[in-house]
Amino acid sequence: MICHFDLRLQTRGHGHMQDLTGRVQALVEKAGIQDGLAHVFAMGSTAAVGTIEFEPGLEEDLPAMLDRLIPPSREYGHERAWHDGNGHSHLQATLLGPSLSVPVRDGRLVLGTWQQIIHLECDIRPRERTVVVTVLG
């Protein structure tokens, strides 16, 4: 059995991290699947998903780390075509990645105690986002 769901998110702009764990768990329950996988996919080229301990320190640290490795700047080739100042957003999103699968066992996401599913906005302005959750089982 395969079910798709769309999660709608409003983001506050660059570096806004949101905990999706509760919402993904609710969709697993809605799908009624006991054993399988939950796949989480960030639609769009300037957002990403992943897992992290969701707490205020790391909420700052993850976007700060990405900005240090891939700094905001006008020097990216991407700017030649678009002049929209978000070359770093594309690269950060590609590096963190849009796709994550989490096991589902006995109807529950299998995660570590301090491991949450997150969405990270990498674009430079607030965006409406869609995360596609696919439950297989």
Q: For binding to its own copies (CB under 8 A), which residues are involved? A: 2, 4, 35-37, 39, 41, 43-45, 50-53, 55-62, 64-65, 69-70, 76-82, 87, 90-91, 94-103, 105, 110-112, 114-116, 132, 134, 136-137
* Strand arrangement of the beta sheet that strand 116-121 belongs to: 17-19, 116-121, 47-52
Least Cβ distance, residue 48 to its own copies (angstroms): 10
- Residue 27 or 96 having the CB closest to its own copies: 96
Least Cβ distance, residue 85 to its own copies (angstroms): 13
Rounded distance between C-alpha atoms, residue 109 and residue 35, angstroms: 9
Least Cβ distance, residue 43 to its own copies (angstroms): 5
The token duo for 60 is 């700052």
Least Cβ distance, residue 26 to its own copies (angstroms): 18
Long-range contacts of 5-9 (CB under 8 A, 24+ apart): 5/30, 5/31, 5/132, 5/133, 5/134, 5/135, 6/130, 6/131, 6/132, 6/133, 7/130, 7/131, 7/132, 7/133, 8/128, 8/129, 8/130, 9/119, 9/128, 9/129, 9/130, 9/131
Least Cβ distance, residue 12 to its own copies (angstroms): 18
